[in-house]
Amino acid sequence: MSTLHLRYFARLRERFGRDAEPLGIPAVPYTVADVIALLVARGGIWADELGGPRVFRVAVDQEMAQLDTPVHDGAEVAIFPPVTGG
């Protein structure tokens, strides 16, 4: 097993009722898409927010990531809505 540090921001933080959580993943090559699939499998609001047409963004180790971006043991994986600053 490897462990990821998940972080949530803004609307997703409120919807998921948490701002961070550890997530265990198999110790094999793993991507952002695999992490999202794992969360969507929780069903309910997780499937609703991450498994449908709603738009979200992912950052790995504080860099914007794509679905095929690899994640490594200990990575910080943040999931959040499109940004609205400025």
User: Phi, psi (5° rounding) for residue 48?
Assistant: -60, -45
- C-alpha to C-alpha distance for 31 and 22, rounded to whole angstroms: 16
Residue nearer to other proteins on the CB measure, 51 or 81: 81
Residue nearer to other proteins on the CB measure, 10 or 27: 10
Q: Which residues contribute to the site for other proteins (CB under 8 A)? A: 7, 9-11, 13-14, 55, 59, 62-64, 78, 80-86
Nearest-approach distance from CB 12 to other proteins, in angstroms? 9
Nearest-approach distance from CB 73 to other proteins, in angstroms? 20
Nearest-approach distance from CB 79 to other proteins, in angstroms? 11
Which residues are within 8 A (CB) of 32 and not within 5 positions of it... i.e. 6 or more apart? Answer: 58, 60, 65, 66, 67, 68, 69, 71, 77
**Taking the CB of residue 34, how many other CB atoms lie within 10 A of it?**
16
Residue nearer to other proteins on the CB measure, 20 or 47: 20
